[in-house]
Structures are given as structure tokens and as C-alpha cells.
A and B are shown apart, each in its own frame.
Chain A
Amino acid sequence: MSKANDSQSAQEPLIALRGITKSFPGVIANDHVDLDIYGGEVHALLGENGAGKSVLMKILYGFYHADAGQILLNGKPVSIQSPHDARNVRIGMVFQDLNLIPVFSVAENIALFLPDLKAVLNLKEIDRRIIEISEHYNLKVDPQALVSQISIGEQQKVEILKLLLSDARLLILDEPTRVLAPHEVEALFDVLDNLRKDGYAIILITHKMKEVLECADRITVLCRGRVAGTMLRAEASEDKLIALMFEKTLTGVKINPKDDVDRALEPLLELQDVETRGERTGISLKGINLKIYPGEIVGVAGVSGNGQKELCDVVLGMELCKKGQKFLYGNDLTNHSIQTMRKQGVAFIPENPLSMASVPFMTVLENMALTNTWRYARQGGFSMDWQAVKTDVEQTEKRLGFTVTLYTLAKSLSGGNQQRMVIIREMTHDPRLIITSYLTRGLDVQSAIAARRALVQARDSGAGVLMVSEDLDELFTLSDRLVVLYGGKIVGEFKPEETNIYEVGHLMTGSEIQHVAKS
């Protein structure tokens, strides 16, 4: 069996990234990132969603090409143009959504991946190798079992076996624990420990603090595409890591101090004990109680994928309540159509403007009319008053302080402009309840400030806002009240001045809950 310790003796890193820079339209995903990975270490890559972890690893695995920077293998520059190249230099990656073929057996799946696969399969030999390696590393799976019949945890083992059999010596695991039950997580960490002892290098992408402190040798924190810091596990603590992850930056909006919201008023929106049915990989909401009063911004903090999308969809009516009730302006509108909600002045700015809110092959102007077709229909619907659409849009643009081209396909706009288009559309007609999700994602600094100002303006004129964000700074400066979502539940509710970034960070990453459970 081949072991990966051929380069371990040297103190020079197995893989070194130097000055890796990668930008996408409107976003710099990686900004001069340096990273050293040594043989025989588990190196955790920590950061919020969008901090640039995945992009960096995809560059290393040849999925993306860096705009600038170098990858050094044992001190010598290598060019990795494709995953195939990456595998040739013995780098392997396990993706978040596992890539196995369900109708194939474990052995067949592994065989498919082997670089030296013969034209005539010798599955017996492959079985033998699988069993040999899996026993050594405690990765027991039945090579004959069909992938569709084994658990997710076992499938992950198969993915790791795939890499080991194909001779990888650097394993990149992208959020491996996301799909695992607690005891499976323990087992995975044992496996990683064994691999480390044999000299393999392992990169663990995650945003869970507890795991990092449990199994990593060294920890690198990425924040907004930059390396915020690298430390040994012994030096690290949760507070230090959280401080690095959610690095302070200026949001640039001065908020007028706001008097307490009048709780005697009827809430604009009230969710009572709402539950949803999680579909496919989606998460389900459990026991959500939430009120939004006129004139307040309720911030929703949480690592994405903890129920934010479902919460927004339930309020809008896209997702049905399995249990519980939803009141809008005091009327029970549980499971009423989106149309009803829209007509009552509910605006929605989703996280992905192109796929969730606009029609790519329509012009921006046409997209602007979509939420309110009834408002612009003339002669009972036989014609549309495009002039009126344009006038409305221009008014809103003036109010918001940014513009967007009207006579082009929505598809051809950049990400930031698509977001502007949706913000302009949703802010027209003075919405009474605004649901926003990652409002400023993809916007440049000025537009982001303008968008936030628009939200505050709407609040001051009596609208309620439900604001989902991952930017803690944004949440703390804008929110009048903060709730934290974790695993589909509201695990904390504060006024921003009553709490701090650390407390919220703990709740978001589920670490405080874990501590309570331990003691």
C-alpha cells in the first residue's frame, strides 16, 4: 500500500499557494491568498459563506483558474489546469454533494475513478484493495453494496476511499460534516487522525468552530477573500476565531437613533408556531414564532442553509405551513397565494436576483412590471402601459440614488445590476412589508449604502422589514431586533445593543448549544 509520507521529512510544505487572486464579475473571491499545507497535518479552512474558501480549493483542484498567483508542489511551481492535472499531482477532493452513481456498487464507483483502470475490469482485485485500505483506516464499507442502499455517512467513506485508492496525498474535504450525524462526525475525525499519522495532508473546509478546535492541527481563517490569520490549534480559541471570521468593516450607514417600536400596534406580520416540511435537501422550520411591527427592521442572523430561505418563502407564501398560522396586518393569511400577499404590499428581494426574481430572457423594463402586472394593465389587460412602468421606475431610481438600464435583457446585466433591478422593482409602490435576503450581495460599496438607506427610509415611513443577512456588521447596524436561526429554529432573539458579535457568532455556529449539551 502506498503511503503519502514521502515528503514528510522535509520542513518545506507539500503544497504552497502564493498570491492566489481570483475575481468574478463584481466580487473578488480570493485576494492574494498565501497558504502552506504540510504533509501529516489536518489544516482547517474556516470562514463565512462567501469568504472564498470553496473558490480557493476549486482553484487548487483545477476547477477554476487563478487570475494571478502560483501553486508550488514541494517548492516547484506546477500548473493545475483541470481536476485531471490535480489528480496527477495527487490532489483529491470530496465535494459537498457527493458524486457517486447510485445504481453502481461501491467497488464500481471506486473503479470508475481509478486512473489506471484496465479495459477489462478486475473487480476482485479492486475489492481486495478496498478491503485492505478500509480496514487499515477504519473506513469499513461493503464493496458489493449498491451506493443507493448505503447511508450518506458510508457514501462519504466511499468518496475518501476513492481518493486513497487513486493515490492522492492531499485530500480536500468540503464541509464533510454537514451531512453527518454526531457519531459519524466522531468516526470521520478518527479516520482523519489515522490518515494524518500516515503522512497525508488534509484540508478541511468548514465554518463550524467546535470541529475545527477538535481535529485540526492548524487553522486558517478567510474573511472577504483574504487570509485573516493562521494559527495552531493550541493558540486558537473560539473567541479569537470568531473575531477573525467576522472582521469589522464599515457599513457606511448612519442610523438615526430610533425610539422603541410601539408594541401596542398590531404587528404587520405574525408567525405563530410555524412549521414547514423540508423538501429534498431543504431544511424544515420548527416552531417559529416571530412578530414584525410597523417601523422596525428584524434582522435574521445565521449561517446560510439554516432555514433562512424557508423563512422568507413561508412569509411570501411560496412554501406552505405544515403547522401554525401566519397573520398579515392581523388577518389570517396562512397558506394564501403569493398573489394575495403581493397585492397587500409585500415586497421580496431574494438572495439570487436572476434565478429567483427575474426572467432572464425578458428586458429589464418587462421585468420591472412583473410584480404588478395588474397595476399596469390597460383596457382590461389588452395592453400594458409601459410608460407608466418607466415613470415609476425612474421615480424609485431617484429616491434610491442608483439606476439600471431598462432596454436590455435581464440576463445580460452583471450580478450587481441584477440586484439593483430587483431592489428598484420591489421598492416601487411603497411596500408595507419587505423581505430581503442578502440585500447587498454583489453590490459595490456605494450601491450597498444606497440600498441600506432605502431600507431604513422604508422603515422610518412605517414599513416592516425582515432582513436575512450573513454580514453581522450589517445586521448589527441596521436591525432594531435580531433573531438567530440555527437548524430551522430561532435560537436567540435580542436587541442589537443587548448582545455582541461573539454571542451571535456562537449561536450561529451552534457552538454554545454544543457546550450546554456537554456539561
Chain B
Amino acid sequence: MWQRANSYIRSIFSSSKLQDVIVRYLLMILLVFVFFGLILLIYGKDPIKSYGDILGSTFGSTYGFSEVIVAMIPMLITALAVALPWRAGLINIGGEGQIYIGAAFATWGALTFTNLPAWILLPLMMLLGMIGGALWAFIPGYLKAIGLVNETITTLLLNSVAPKIVGFLIFGFWHSAMDTVKTANFVPAALLPTFFNTRIHLGFVIALVLLALFWFVMKYTRWGLEIRAIGGNSQAARRNGIPLKGYLIAVMCIGGAIAGLAGMAQVSGFYGVLLLNFSAGLGYMGFLICWLAGGQPIGILLMSFVVAIITTGGNLLQLTRDLPYAVINILLAFTLFIVLARPKFFEREKA
């Protein structure tokens, strides 16, 4: 009996049929909620009611649902910033830093060209944000391409430098008279338009377009093929005459540019101002989502949605159930742990 169950579970976790994949994910989500329920019980809260609160606050009202979408926007974009280099076999943990530098560049545009109309200023800010992120990612990309330092380490280390630079700018050049931890408010022309009377802004459209573009490039174009070849077997790709160094640098820079765009979208669409430490881990969240999704566009969309529900619902739990926000981090960590641990458990048995 146990053996049959065991072999059934193993078959589900090793097959790639769609229905098995769905069962697999449902099982994993179930496991996550059981674990988290235990934590809530230990804390003396009713897990069922807490889950009810999370669902009610997100699916229960248009406002709640729109907040989920708002939370999804930076997650989608930063996840893409990880996914592209990942396809070429690079680990970009630097989304966080790239967001900050991108946001700083975009802010410079917003604060300098205050007289431009929105249809010029916004594209300009996007461009600036992308340039900022790309420059920040160029450093690790170049160092990796010449074989000097592993990109995982450099991107991670640069993450703690970028917020300091932004702090330096906020306290220095862009110091606002009203407040010390942020710049002056952006002019209305520098704000991304919002829709349906909610906080959903143009960034959502940008994210979806980027997602579709990513899917298309990877699946149909020559560059996608070459990037996948590099990720699949860099040695063979090199021997086949694919220019490895150029691609490594390009892919890192484009990833950085995408993350920079996420930074621009946050300051221009969400805050309307450059705030000290505004990102607070968005870049890492993107990394997590990309890994949960296995770098696939559809997966990124779904996983961003799930994580956005957890974080927005978690915000509410603080109010209704008097739980510390750290509990949400526990829930996220459980999700990450279970999804990432899965292949390790089962592939070893197959070998």
C-alpha cells in the first residue's frame, strides 16, 4: 500500500504531463498551507479563519483584487530580469541593486525635465531607468565574460551598494525641503497613468508586453536559440561558433535594463517620488518567483499572482489577526523551500 502510494507520488513528480504537473503544484501548495497552518496554531491563531481572511481580502472585492495586481507589477518585471540571464546559464541576484539604480536614473529625468509633456517625459524616464539598470548589470556581466569573478557573487554584493548611492542622492542633491527620506514629489507628467480608478498603473501593461516579448524571443528568434544553447551547454555553444562573451554581457545588461525599468515603474507609477529603501526586497522577490516558475513566462505570471496574494493578504493579517509581518516571510520561505527542494528529493532516486 505504502509502496504503491510512494511510486505514484514519484511518478507524479518525475513526469512532465500537464495533469501531473498540475497535481504536483496543488500538492505542493497544500503542503505549504499545512505547514503554515501549524505555525499559526503554535501562535494561537485559527488557521482556517486566517486563510479565509487572506482570500477574502484579495478576491473579496475589486479593490482588494486591484491591489494584488499592483503588487504583481514589480514582481513580474524583476522576475523577467532574472529569467533572461538564467536562460543563458547566469544567476542574476542583482535585481535589487538594478532596481535602485534604474529608479535613480529615472528620478533624475523626472526632476530635471519638469516642463516636458508626459508623452515625451515618460518614455525618456523609461529609457533612463533601463540605462541605469543596464550599467549596473554591465559590471558583473563584463567581469563574468572575461572569466574573472562569478556573476552570482558580484550581483549580490552590488545589491548593498546601490541603495547607499540612492541614499546619497536623496540626502544630497535631491533633498526635499519637506521630508528627509525622499525627493520632492514628481510633476504629474512624470507619473505613469493609472486605470479604473485603482492604483493599477501602466507598468502592468509594460510587464505583460515584456513577458510576451520574452516568450517570443526565446521561442522563435535566432537570439533565443543561441541564448538557450549557451544556457544548455556553453562549451558546445562556443565550439559551434556562438559568441559567448558578447552574449553573456548582453544578456546581463538587458536583464539589468528590465530590472531598471521595474525601478522606474515603482517610483513613477506607485510612489510618485523616490523614497529611501523603497524597494525593500522586490529584486529578491523577483528572483524567488523566477526560480519557482522555472524561468517560464506562464509560470512567472502564475507565481507572481500567488506571491502577490500572499503578500497583500499578509498585510491584512497584521490588522485583522494581529500577526507580525514576519509570519508572511515564513509562509514565503515555506513555499520556496518546498518548491526548490522537490527536484532534489526525487531525481536522486531516478539516477
Contacts and interface: CB of A to CB of B under 8 A. Distances in A.
A381 B232 contact: no
B239 A357 contact: yes
Interface stretch (A45-53, A192-200, A235-243, A337-345): A337-345
B338 interface: no
B243 A337 contact: yes
Contact of B243 (A316, A339, A376, A383): A339
A356 B241 contact: no
B341 to A, nearest CB: 22
A279 to B, nearest CB: 12
Interface string B208-240: 000000000000111101101100110111111
A325 interface: no
Contacts of B235: 355-356
Contacts of B239: 316, 318, 338, 348, 350, 356-357
| Interface bin, chain A | 20 to 34
A495 to B, nearest CB: 31
B89 to A, nearest CB: 11
B20 to A, nearest CB: 18
A68 interface: no
Among B220, B221, B235, B237, chain A packs the most CB atoms within 10 A around the CB of B221
B236 A355 contact: yes
Interface string A338-381: 11011100001010000111111110001001110110110001
A339 B241 contact: yes
A356 B220 contact: no
B222 A370 contact: no
B188 to A, nearest CB: 37
A114 interface: no
Interface of B: 220-223, 225-226, 228-229, 232-233, 235-243
A360 to B, nearest CB: 6
Contacts of A337: 241, 243
A382 B221 contact: yes
Contacts of A356: 235-236, 239
Given A360-B232, A362-B228, A382 B240 contact: no
A386 to B, nearest CB: 10
A381 B221 contact: yes
Contacts of B221: 377, 381-384
Given A339-B243, A359-B232, A362-B228, A370 B237 contact: yes
Nearest to B228: A362
A432 to B, nearest CB: 15
Residue of B223, B236, B243 most packed against chain A (CB within 10 A): B236
Nearest to B233: A359
A339 B243 CA distance: 7
Contacts of B233: 355, 358-360
